[in-house]
Chains A and B, each alone.
Chain A
Amino acid sequence: DTYELQSTFGLNVPSIGPSPQNFARMVSAMTDGEVEINVHGAGDFVPPFEVFGAVSSGALDMGFDWSGYWSQQIPVANIVGSMPFGPSPEIALGWMYYGGGQEIIQKAYDPFNVHFLPCHLVIAEAGGWFNKEITSLDDFQGLNMRIAGLGGLALAKLGANTQTVPAGEIYLSLETGRLDAAEFSAPSLDVGMGFQRVAKYYYFPGWQQQSAWDSIIVNKAVWDDLGEENQTIMEDACRANIAFNLADQVNTQAPAIAQIREAGAEVRRFPDEVLVGLRKAAYEVMDEQAAKDPLFAEALESLKAYMVSVGEWPELQNFPPASE
């Protein structure tokens, strides 16, 4: 059978663009052509923010998304989409498959008749573009910054004027000074927007998003009709897809950062004391959200516990800093 899938991203965006096509290619090969998936780009049928609703109603068979997009209706999607000071990609991977992540999200999606397949793991973002130096938490006071999600709420707690300027107005607003700072994505995507020409500093780490999930979402009736064998194949294809895209993302950051430096933007790190303050604000925000939504609370507890329980492992493996 042939199914229609629409992505929330343009198909020519690096990494996340071709990801659903790669998935569809594998599914077709592994099912011997029994399951064919036509992949459409953002806006082909519905605007990006409507993909979930269209899959839920059955207007679309499948979608490819960043989970955080659905947080206006499904609060837990916010923390799965991007958890400030959250897990690194490998720990996120462990949590999703073995730490109960998949079950929590599925519980949230069930009332909408949507099946969730984690299918693309996004590595850490940058901390953002700044035209003002950040030396202490006070520097966030009154800072006009474009930043989405829970990270934005955390910065607002620290006195920043955080706002949702549409992606298309970021460049000009940074250039004119209407915005002092903006967070968009990882270097490989940021570089294409040309922000390096209008921002002085490019800060790291991406505290607001250490890892994020993109997924294939499938209408429940479509999923049930696929049959157990095809369902397993789709799950396996997603796991393979994650290996593909982790590799391509790691591979593209260094050249992007080089290009950003070459254009004259200075690559910097937030001072440690700033990160400590940000972490405190971020956890306050997440606790507030947890108080409002039981599934959000469950995911937050689960993620925190998982990060603690596997936390010893990377520490055991730590080397001292290289001293040449």
Chain B
Amino acid sequence: MGPDMSRILSFARALLSLPGKIVAWLIIPLILSIVLSVIAARFGWSTLLDWDGSIPLFGEALTVNSLVDLQWYIFSLIVLFGGVWAYFDERHVTVDFIALSLKPRTRAYITLFGDLFLLLPLCILVIRYGSDFAAIAWRTGEGSNQGGLAAHWLIKGALPTAFGLLGLAALTNALRTLCELRKGTFHETEIHHDS
């Protein structure tokens, strides 16, 4: 593959992995918010912060149930955007003891097939129907009925967004594999022990 193509592809990889690297840091508020829930239970606090009117995402007050919602919001974002990043780093689970004994060319064909006919249809499915769900959630203002967070559309919207990125990632990789197949040189499976 030409140096331009190669540069474009690695730029696409970096760009598509970026949201995962950002949401990764949400593990800190995840840990702290759960610890805060535990403390609140100990002291019997229900409403942690109260304010006038309604603010985006948090609604009318910060309650213990807001923290619970915040926790699954964070979990969702970590899974969704981390999934795209994990895809580029080849961290998704594989059963490869047979595949490792195959020729690089055969493996490249398998990867190309998987990207286009196994992964891409899933992404299209989630984008197609996930955007409907997100739109309904937005329109109805779907949110907690327990005094928790008031923006479920955020996560319902993140679902098709992340799978959109994953679909782009699959196309990026398919392009690279096609180039490799044409040139006959194949990249090594990268094993990242570091970021």
Chain A residues within 8 Å of B, Cβ to Cβ: 53, 57, 71-75, 78, 141-144, 148-149, 152-153, 156, 159-164, 178
Contact indicator A156/B142 (Cβ below 8 Å): no
CB-based contact B142/A72 at 8 Å? yes
A143 with B44: CB separation less than 8 A: yes
B147 contacts A161, C-beta separation under 8 Å: no
- Cβ-closest chain B residue relative to A179: B41
Query: B185 contacts the other chain (Cβ, under 8 Å)?
Result: no
Q: Is the CB of B142 within 8 A of A164?
A: no
Q: Is B144 located at the chain interface by the 8 A CB criterion?
A: yes
* Contacts A53-B133, A72-B143 known; 16 new A-B pairs at CB < 8 A: A57-B132, A72-B145, A73-B142, A74-B140, A142-B44, A142-B45, A143-B44, A148-B146, A149-B145, A153-B147, A161-B41, A161-B45, A162-B65, A162-B146, A163-B65, A178-B41
Please tell me if the beta carbons of B68 and A164 are within 8 angstroms of each other in the complex.
Answer: yes
Q: How many A-B residue pairs have CB under 8 A?
A: 55
B154 to chain A, nearest CB (A): 14
Enumerate B40-91 residues with CB–CB distance to A below 8 Å: 40-41, 43-47, 63-65, 68
Confirm or deny: B137 has a beta carbon within 8 angstroms of a beta carbon on chain A. Answer: yes
Q: What are 8 A-B contacts defined by CB distance under 8 Å?
A: A142-B45, A156-B147, A160-B46, A161-B40, A162-B65, A163-B41, A163-B68, A178-B41
Complex interface: chain B residues within 8 A of A156 (CB): 46-47, 63, 147
Task: Tell me the bound Cα distance from A91 to B147 in angstroms.
Answer: 30
B interface residues, Cβ below 8 angstroms from A: 40-41, 43-47, 63-65, 68, 129, 132-133, 136-137, 140, 142-148, 152
Q: Check A161 against B64 for contact (C-beta < 8 Å).
A: yes
* A-chain residues with CB within 8 Å of residue B47 when the two chains form the complex: 156
Q: Which B residues touch A53, using CB under 8 A?
A: 133, 136
Query: Contacting B44 at CB < 8 Å: which of A57, A75, A144, A152?
Result: A144
Contact check, A159 vs B145: say whether CB atoms are below 8 A apart: no
Whose C-beta in chain B lies nearest to the C-beta of A160?
Answer: B46
Q: Does A142 lie within 8 Å of B146, measured CB to CB?
A: no
With known contacts A53-B133, A72-B152, A141–B44 Cβ distance under 8 A: yes
A193 to B175, CA, bound (A): 55
Residues of A within 8 A of B147 (CB): 153, 156
Determine how close the nearest CB of chain B comes to the CB of A54; give it in whole angstroms. 11
Chain A residues, Cβ within 8 Å of B148 = 164
CA distance A178 to B46 in the complex (A): 14
Measured between C-beta atoms, what is the minimum distance from A99 to chain B in Å? Answer: 24
- Contact B146–A164 (Cβ < 8 Å): yes
Closest CB in chain B relative to A72 CB, distance in Å: 5
Residues in A with CB closer than 8 Å to B146 are: 148, 152-153, 162, 164
The smallest C-beta distance from A246 to any residue of chain B, in angstroms, reads: 27
Q: Hey, which chain A residues are within 8 Å of B40, CB to CB? A: 161
How many whole Å from B60's CB to the nearest CB in chain A?
A: 9
User: What's the least CB distance linking A219 to chain B, in Å?
Assistant: 15
Contact of A161 among B44, B129, B137, B144 (CB under 8 A): B44
In the complex formed, the residue of A with least CB distance to B64 is A163
Cα distance, A248 to B43, chains bound together (Å): 42
CB distance from A184 to the nearest CB of B (A): 16
Residues of B within 8 A of A73 (CB): 136-137, 140, 142
